[in-house]
Amino acid sequence: MLDFKGAIFDLDGTLIDSMKIWEKIDMDFLNKRNIKMPADYIEMINSMSFDKVAKYTIDRFGLNEKEEDIIKEWHEMAVYEYTNNIKLKPYVKEYLHKLKHNNIKIGLATTSPKYLYEPVLKNNNIYELFDELVSLEDVTRDKNYPDIYLLTSEKLGVNPNDCVGFEDILIGINTMKKINIKCIGVYDESSLYEIDKIKDSCDIFIHSFKELL
């Protein structure tokens, strides 16, 4: 088992079962515009911030809409889901309590903005378990770059070499490996298209947090 002083968690698809919700939001959004969602759309936007996803969506589908209007629409759809419906993956709470008991610093490094991560963490009673909460709002570049992971480890006061990161997508795992953060790959159905590469790239792969208890 890995030895570490700090744990850095992705949120969507890692701690919470939200990727199907996002697929539904994206599908509903495109359906309203009579656009069928392309097979690679989710893969392309997975690691992007909201403003980049909005720009990408406008450019890709030639939408005559403003980025801020699209973000507002997504915002309203997502806030309802994150506040009311999205649940933790099995054994997440138990594992976070185990880390806390062992005095491991716990940080969040998520692409989701504060207005989404805060209600879903509070609604599932794990908000108080985190020492630091960081999102793409706090850095200038997405998860193709190490900024969010470096900032999280810095806020935790733990050297990246002494951290382990939990991610369900390959981009996040590869980026963390570049800065010597050990990685645990977490199974999520939405990442099945790259599951073999995820398993090859991470230090440990889990289907459930029960495996770490």
Residues 6+ apart with CB under 8 A from 192: none
Beta pairing class for 105-110 and 182-186:
unpaired
Which range has the worst mean pLDDT, 71-80, 141-150, 181-190?
A: 71-80
Domain map (residue ranges) of the chain: 6-17+87-212, 19-84
The CATH class of 19-84 is: mainly alpha
* Res 9: pLDDT: 98
Contact, 180 vs 160, CB < 8 A? yes
Q: What is the mean pLDDT of residues 155-184?
A: 97
For residue 31, name the pLDDT band (cuts at 50, 70, 90).
Answer: very high
Q: Architecture of domain 6-17+87-212 in CATH? A: 3-Layer(aba) Sandwich (3.40)
Q: How far is CA 48 from CA 2, 6, 10, 17, 77, in A?
A: 29, 25, 13, 19, 18
Q: What is the mean pLDDT of residues 165-191?
A: 96
For residue 156, pLDDT beyond 90? yes
Q: What is the mean pLDDT of residues 96-114?
A: 96
Q: What is the mean pLDDT of residues 189-204?
A: 94
| Residue 199 to residue 185: CA distance in whole angstroms | 7
For residue 1, pLDDT beyond 80? no
DSSP 137-182: GGSSS-TTSTHHHHHHHHHHT--GGGEEEEESSHHHHHHHHHTT-E
Residue 145 φ/ψ, nearest 5 degrees: -120, 155
For residue 22, name the pLDDT band (cuts at 50, 70, 90).
Answer: confident
For residue 16, pLDDT beyond 90? yes
Q: What is the mean pLDDT of residues 34-40?
A: 93
pTM for this model (two decimals): 0.86
